[in-house]
Amino acid sequence: MTLALGIDPGTATTGYGLVRVEPDGSMIAVKYGVILTPKEATASARLVMLYDELRDIIREYQPEIAAVEKLFFSRNVTTALAVGQARGVVMLCLEQAGIEAFEYTPNEVKQAVAGYGSAQKKQVQEMVRALLTLDSIPKPDDAADALAIAITHLSTKRYDLM
């Protein structure tokens, strides 16, 4: 059984989702949530907090693989730089843990999960709920996004999932 860690990186909020493939091929959410850092902390302190909490999640659940959302640059350069720093910390943490990391754009995630690269956020969240047979859409949005990233990887890559 493969356990994948999906990560939606950010400095203030990083979503994470652990998804396991069962022997029958179904996927289940093992754990999901967010890593929050306080706004009053320095940028470097926030990155250390992100690293430490992600390292603890990896140690506890020991995922075999990870998938991280690629940086999507729009207009806000400051936000893009902060997300880039968080992605760097995430990639470092995964590498140090010996976990291979794969990267997916937001459109690739939408395509894999909802079947349409321009799907609305709500459509993707509903598909995450359905694919993982959850009672409700995972909250907050960053956690749902992280689960979608993990599902994307497990659906995209062909592994011996037994």
Q: Is 24 a catalytic residue?
A: no
Pairing of strands 100-104, 3-8: unpaired
Helices (H), 7-140: 43-61, 77-96, 106-114, 121-131
Q: Is 69 a catalytic residue?
A: yes
Which residue among 8, 56, 108, 141 is the active-site one? Answer: 8
The DSSP code for 155 is H
Which residue among 69, 108, 126, 135 is the active-site one? Answer: 69
Task: State the virtual CA torsion across 3, 159, 144, 56 in degrees, nearest 10.
Answer: 30
Q: Is 145 a catalytic residue?
A: no
Helix/strand/coil percent split, the chain, to 5: 45, 20, 30
Which residue among 60, 142, 145, 160 is the active-site one? Answer: 142
Angle (CA) 56 59 147, round 5°: 75
Catalytic residue positions, numbered: 8, 69, 142
